[in-house]
A and B are shown apart, each in its own frame.
Chain A
């Protein structure tokens, strides 16, 4: 018997761990079946859906998602299996005997059409006034099955009130088709557990604890549910109207910072295959749209490395030299706002382990409305800061009441990759055709270390490049600066680097084996936190956590769809771009040196940097009153 992976998903919903017949070995672990009269051989336990896809037979799906466990609820993938009284769902049916499958019988086609008709009958709204128009799985199905009228009627009034309480995620349940992808995302993938089906029968709907507004429950704003919703039932809280208004207001100086992940994915919104970066093209497009300055978030990613790295070295010194037992180690990264809210809710007693360094987005806001305002001679009251992020949680983050350290709202708007693409299209620009241009000064180009923040393990890799060199005076001992143990999509990665021949200042670290861990997706974060709780992280120094699967490149604000394959391609695009950059270490970024010379003159983790670049957290807890 195979043990179940997580506690909720019923074993039966996971076809890959279905008990396999004992004679697997004797028949070589494969089995021959007939699909539409064609003989095909597949590994035992393959689902009908997988078998069909491997053989270029298209089966429509709706509740199925490659990142999630099987649900088998929409029923659109039904096929005929000879000898069975009812049709079977291809997504959930594991092949363990030599069955005969038919994927397009009159009964199958009729059932699929009925299912679409039924969904449409309860689905509020029309496609032309819908933001998912053109990228909606329900709409595509209706098209595929030639739906030209509503056989069983069509709702005329919304059934549910739109929940726009959250700064990040808006829920319009009148458009929900109850595929439960969001539920499975939130419970199984993220292990947050905000969403679940409520009530029975016709009253069934996806809701929160006691149907409270999303802002009042333990949602971490990761937006992963949005990326997996097939319809317009979930979307991010879109500030583009306000941004247009700011752009159109001549009084306002509108500045945008762009994070690494959107560049590696925004092409997808323009029909380009995943895996192409459009950094230079995006810069041009943004300037044409009317942003006054286009800055690179990687600059503050470099700054984060300096601040967070210094903080780590300070903690280590306190622990090792001063033998201060109150020092919390390992230090956890704090740049993923979904992760920050997760730990605030689920592990508030461990908040002291979190680095106090702000995320690059928030550092940029604070620097823009102070240092940049002065340098450029603009009144910070007139500056509007926009952050292009792959992320839904960034919207919540910039609205945190403590994020006003510049004396103004440090970051005015968090904009997702999807929303940015929409603005670009609205401006009549086809992104892939744009000429390339550079980021604006005074922050200019950043280092490649900042760029790889977009992939899981990137922050760790960037930090190690800097910390190792600061401490030993030598480059990290990895070929071409590529720290392999930090790369790849394994849920939790653990490794260590030994510090030897340290420079004078860091002699206390001589011989220390720096142990680190990297996790992505809050389900993995939870595992890491349980390790910490059980004392299994004793001796560890640094842990990177990203709330979203794959890291930011798989963020909740990225183009839809997402899948392991797409995330992998985005990562490849990021790593390829980074290797071509002239500067690949945060501490070698000349603009970073400039700011410590001109502005943060007392250096990293000093008083001013604490005021502008560091923050504090809130013990939220799991219980909602």
Chain B
């Protein structure tokens, strides 16, 4: 909680947290024009920071190309993945980056309306953010004829989510904005063509949007200096769990797991869960893997587990989360997660056969390919990776089954 309290203090870092003067991004964007902007963002290699890692320029180009009377820019500030809290920090310390990112996106795709979908639990940020928007309007960074540019109008409103994890999924988010039950839609069509109210809509993570003003002012080449070939720039990591210094860290992509562990003062680490509950669990033997889209990908959530942790309990926690948070519309996810959880409970009680466990893993693979949205597609990740990477610990048996009386 220390993060929230340091209200007027801005942390610093190489890219996202680097120095920025409010208004510069929009000003430069208007000078560059749409084509150059897209070129710059594409050149920077910016990919989505919300978890899926979709190339941002491609998404924006698609909706810029769509023909429609209205378009929308949505900032996904639902931040529901267990163990992430970096978007909150951005909104608190660098709201100008996020909002200007939205304005620039609006300029590029031809939208006049931006909507921030703010996680319900962040309601306490609302007043300050609204004030900030007022300030931007006063400085002509929002509203009609932004910075004097004829016919460039854009404004932003903030809507509160109502507490379902799945509402962070972009199409469920759109349903929720429309006042419906938060259930993911079928794709195609994609939101870039058919989104909010049926109009072309881009949904981007807070951090993705916050990267944009930096790229615009400092250039794609500068951005690309950080990170790896395929993962450019830096990433905000929300670190929690067994470490001395949990919190938000900005590090270039390509940073190795062990480097991060050192930085946060983690000792006797047994495993790192990369990417939240829907991510994968990486054992000690693989700590020299790097955080990158092409290796250990993450939307930012890093959970550290030390030797004292029972990995089966960790897994059970994750699965309980999914059993509850699945929107419940599709079979593989609604029933599948329940079955995986049942499996873990059977392992706990020592009532399993390896054939049954292997059936469940197969089921996990089906869930990955047959679920309707990212939630069900990624919920078996932890089941598969934990059972695989910690099988010795989990299936430690006394002849027949795990003796859970002690474990």
Contacts and interface: CB of A to CB of B under 8 A. Distances in A.
A118 B340 CA distance: 11
A494 interface: no
Interface residues of B, number: 49
Contacts of B331: 73-76, 115, 118-119, 177-178
Contacts of B114: none
B327 interface: yes
A12 B334 contact: no
Contacts of A114: 332, 336, 362-363, 366, 370
A202 interface: yes
Most B Cβ at <10 Å: residue of A200, A203, A204 = A200
Interface string A54-93: 0000000000000000111111101000000111010011
Contact of A115 (B181, B324, B332, B338): B332
A96 interface: yes
Contacts of B366: 110-111, 114-115
B209 to A, nearest CB: 23
A620 B395 CA distance: 62
Contacts of A536: none
Nearest to A12: B185
B326 A8 contact: no
Interface string B203-242: 0000000000000000000000000000000000000000
B92 to A, nearest CB: 29
Nearest to A113: B366
Contact of B175 (A10, A18, A74): A10
Contacts of B335: 118-119, 121-122, 202
A283 to B, nearest CB: 46
B328 A115 contact: no
A121 B339 contact: yes
Interface string B337-368: 11100100000000000000001001101101
A118 B372 CA distance: 15
Contact of B188 (A8, A94, A151, A178): A94
Given A86-B369, A86-B377, 20 more contacts: A1-B68, A10-B185, A12-B194, A72-B186, A75-B370, A85-B369, A86-B368, A86-B370, A87-B369, A87-B370, A110-B366, A114-B363, A118-B363, A122-B338, A152-B359, A178-B329, A178-B331, A180-B329, A197-B181, A204-B329
B180 A204 contact: no
A152 B363 contact: yes
23 contacts: A1-B69, A3-B198, A8-B180, A10-B175, A12-B189, A13-B185, A19-B194, A73-B331, A78-B369, A87-B369, A94-B189, A110-B365, A111-B332, A114-B370, A115-B366, A118-B339, A122-B335, A152-B339, A152-B363, A197-B329, A201-B328, A202-B328, A204-B334
Given A18-B194, A111-B369, A119-B335, A201 B323 contact: yes
B270 to A, nearest CB: 29
Closest A-B pairs by Cβ, 3 of them:
A204-B328, A118-B335, A92-B186
B142 to A, nearest CB: 26
A595 interface: no
A202 B330 CA distance: 11
Interface string A244-271: 0000000000000000000000000000
B245 to A, nearest CB: 34
Most B Cβ at <10 Å: residue of A75, A87, A151 = A75
Interface string A1-30: 101100010111101001100100000000
A3 B193 CA distance: 14
Contact of B323 (A70, A115, A202): A202
A15 B190 CA distance: 11
A86 B188 CA distance: 13
A196 interface: yes
Contacts of A625: none
B93 interface: no
A74 B330 contact: yes
A3 B70 CA distance: 13
Interface residues of A, number: 51
Nearest to A116: B331
A242 to B, nearest CB: 38
Nearest to B340: A152
Contacts of A326: none
A70 B334 CA distance: 19
Contacts of A110: 362, 365-366
Given A107-B369, A118-B339, A202-B326, A178 B334 contact: yes
A480 interface: no
A118 B328 contact: no
Contacts of A89: 186, 372
A199 interface: yes
Contacts of A111: 332, 366, 369-370
Contacts of A92: 186
Contacts of A1: 68-69, 198-199
Contacts of A22: 67
Nearest to B327: A200
B365 to A, nearest CB: 8
B62 to A, nearest CB: 11
Contact of A75 (B178, B180, B332): B332
Interface in B358-407: 359, 362-363, 365-366, 368-372, 377
A41 to B, nearest CB: 20
A74 B331 CA distance: 5
